Amino acid sequence: MTISAGKPDSGGDCRDWESATRTELESLRNRVKELEAENAKLLTQISSCQCQQMEVKHDVSVLDSGSLVRRRRRSRKGNDTILPSHLISKRFIALKIMYFGKRFYGFSAEAQMEPSIESEFFKALERTRLLVGDKKDCSYSRCGRTDRGVSSTGQVIALFLRSRLKAPPGDSEAHLDGKMGEREYDYVRVLNRALPDDIRVLGWSPVPIDFHARFSCSAREYKYFFWRQNLDLSAMDIAGKKFVGEHDFRNFCKMDAANVHCYTRRVTFFEVSPCQNSHEGDQLCTFTMRGSAFLWHQIRAMVAVLFMIGQGVESADVIDTLLDIERTPRKPQYLLASEIPLVLRTCEYENVDFICSPGAAESLRSHFKNESLTYQLESVIFQEALRNCVPLGNEKSSCNGVEKKKKAAIHAPLLSRPTEPSYEERNAKLKSRTPETCTV
């Protein structure tokens, strides 16, 4: 289609020429629009094809977990298709995680101590190629920052992960559609194939963009397991009920005056109860505590004081005294309870329902059963070693012929012990270290 170069001289011919020119220009504009639409359609098809190829590679590499690491090593210098992150479909989800904390230096990787649960989890995300970009690009958040040795059966994190969905960018309602989970990656199965045996994903859930694993949490529940021995459960239950309500818990935590300025927390539930497990006549028991949030080492400090009450060396009234900050502005020095029996059991949210496919759920049950049997076998070995110890009646005396006996520990009352600096004293010390600005 061409436009004539010359312009006629007569008036009638001029009008005809202008009309024909306008028609041709309009036709050219429409054709340009058609070509642009066709070009956009082809680009979409190419992008979709490349995404599907990446998905196939991803699924094969995860399913063949035995050769996963070797494949990645070979492909580092290979010609893997790398798509820009904006062309990869992503979805904002929450993941429910279980971990056995004994061998880890806590959940967070920020302390630069390895291994941590967080660092192991992100290694699995990278191996499975579910992570698009890096940790800074995925809007990552976590509910709890459990300490070294602490376990969890309900930790929750939230982040953007690769998705099979082709919903338009910004269409958060489509990503929240529960039915679309049937066509989505089986995040639980995929990640559990790449995680170590003491970390497992229990479920996943689509969440809105403004969801935050920490600040959207309405309640956290902890359990602390212990052997009853000669402890007075009734006395500990009466004392523990004093924690329920809103209190200043600065005498029941490890104070961080530089970052934490409010030590008021609300405990909504406390219970002491026996478990079904027992060993050689000793009953396993548990403290259950629920609240909106907890301070650093708060649970372990509370348990330590409860053990003193259960042993009969402190009265339940000491809880009231320690919660009264005006009467007791400084925390008495005492050791925390062990971290190993502490478990973050659940993190509760509104309108968040975790999903787990039947196949992934069956694999989880089988895995937990096998791990439980393995730990029971390890326990049997220690029991066998205990039986093979030299009997107490045949123990040899010390080199000087006098048998040494361990002295019984003498309990020092909590309220008469040396104290730690108060919050005000710590804060004043921090301010004194702040360099002053010199003026000329």
Whole-angstrom distance, CA of residue 183 vs CA of residue 167: 12
What's phi and psi for 257, nearest 5 deg?
Answer: -65, -25
**Residue 403 to residues 6, 248, 391, 393, 400: CA-CA distances in angstroms?**
124, 49, 15, 12, 8
Please compute, for residue 11, the number of CA atoms within 13 A of its CA located in the half-sphere on the CB side.
0
Three-state secondary structure call for residue 236: helix
Contact 98, 202 (CB under 8 A): yes
What's the CA angle centered on 150, arms 423 and 113, to 5 degrees? 80
In terms of Cα–Cα distance, which of 208, 150, 148, 151 is closest to 176?
208
Active site residue 147: yes
User: In the block, which residue shows the tokens 């005396």?
Assistant: 397
Q: Is 167 helix (H, G, I), strand (E, B) or coil?
A: coil
Task: Report the alpha-carbon angle 216-166-81, nearest 5.
Answer: 105
Strand partners, 151: 343
Alpha helices in 275-357 (DSSP H): 298-310, 317-323
- Which amino acid, residue 159? L
Tokens of 342: 């502490």
- Catalytic residue (choose from 147, 186, 232, 256): 147
Catalytic residues: 147
